[in-house]
A = this chain, B = another copy of it.
Amino acid sequence: MAQKVRIALDAMGGDFGPPVVVPGAGISLTRHPDTEFILFGDSAAINRQLDAHPAIKAASKVVHTDVAITMEEKPSQALRRGRKTSSMWLALDAVRKGEADVAVSAGNTGALMAMSRFNLRMLPGIDRPAIACVWPTIRSESVVLDVGASIGGDARHLASLAIMGSAMARVLFDIERPTVGLLNIGVEEVKGVEEVKEAAELLRSMNLPELDFIGFVEGDGIGKGAADVIVTEGFSGNIALKTAEGTARQIAEYLRSAMSRTWRSKLGYLFAKSAFKALRDKMDPRKVNGGVFLGLNGVVIKSHGGTDAEGFASAVDVGYEMVRYDLLTKINQTLNRDGGSLTLMPTAQEAVS
């Protein structure tokens, strides 16, 4: 059997800490028995959970620290207070030192991003990090990035997102050459989307064998599965993601109220209960938990802070797959290919002149 996947867990991250992190890791372990964990945090609290979950205890090592980053701390505060000492930092440090293959945290996003950049540094050729998520679509699933790591960005930044996102799609969906679309709006001759247009020209001119650039996709194309990878800068990506989540919750609420209005609809609900359960599962945000930080010298997964053990397990699963199918190597392959390297890439200005 191949080497185990070693996962560093920030046991104190998120709204609940060890009572979610430990059972969550346990659920993922049943799906991927070739995993071992290093848990960073308050060893008393962690061991209480491990004692209740012997299977995961056997696959885990605990490293104690008193310092935990709170959900409210600003990135700069977190760095000042928790550098070298916090459970979040130590989980990332295990990746840097090669003691773990991936770090997973449900902690404060800004702090985790700042610590990841500070500790792991950016990949050569990448200036700014990104957060990628897996978005369920009518067709199947797509990788959408950046959903909130960096705001704005020129054509070169958008092209780097395309490269990293398509590497992630190759890993996750086992597609040789994922299709990539640039998120844009359908209004022509409008000022301000120059960088998106330039990125399109750049991606066309690079003509990378690892990805199939298909052009622009509008907001409603995401849910249709118009491309395997949807690329946009972090502000609009975050707005898109949160708006979709809000719309899903809104429709679930409409559905709930519609089904409880009359005795006929209540009866209909009873008959179709398993159909509604399937729908709920499909819309379950826990199933798509796990944002992947891209652009770093290491794999870092961010879980939602308020998730439960099932949701945290999804984030651990994502980390497992990124390592097992060698995300970083695939990104670096594209970055370092002759002519494809972003370090050698013309700047946006040159590319379109």
List chain A positions with a Cβ less than 8 A from chain B: 74-76, 109-110, 113-114, 136-138, 148-152, 183, 185-193, 218-224, 232, 234-236, 238-251, 253-255, 258-259, 261-262, 264-265, 267-276, 278-279, 282-283
Contacts and interface: CB of A to CB of B under 8 A. Distances in A.
A244 B138 CA distance: 14
Interface centre among A109, A243, A265, A278, by most chain B C-beta atoms within 10 angstroms, is A243
Copies of this chain present in the complex amount to 2
A275 B283 contact: no
Given A151-B192, A264-B274, A243 B223 contact: yes
Given A109-B186, A218-B242, A224-B249, 11 more contacts: A138-B254, A150-B191, A151-B192, A185-B235, A190-B234, A239-B243, A254-B279, A265-B275, A268-B268, A268-B270, A268-B271
A239 B185 contact: yes
A109 B187 contact: yes
Question: Is the contact region of chain A dominated by helix, strand, or loop, or is it mixed?
Answer: helix
A170 B336 CA distance: 57
Given A138-B253, A258-B275, A265-B271, A188 B110 contact: yes
A105 to B, nearest CB: 15
A151 B271 contact: no
A187 B238 contact: yes
Interface centre among A221, A223, A239, A253, by most chain B C-beta atoms within 10 angstroms, is A239
B224 A246 contact: yes
Q: Which 4 A-B pairs have the closest CB atoms?
A: A268-B272, A219-B242, A151-B192, A268-B271
B188 A74 contact: yes
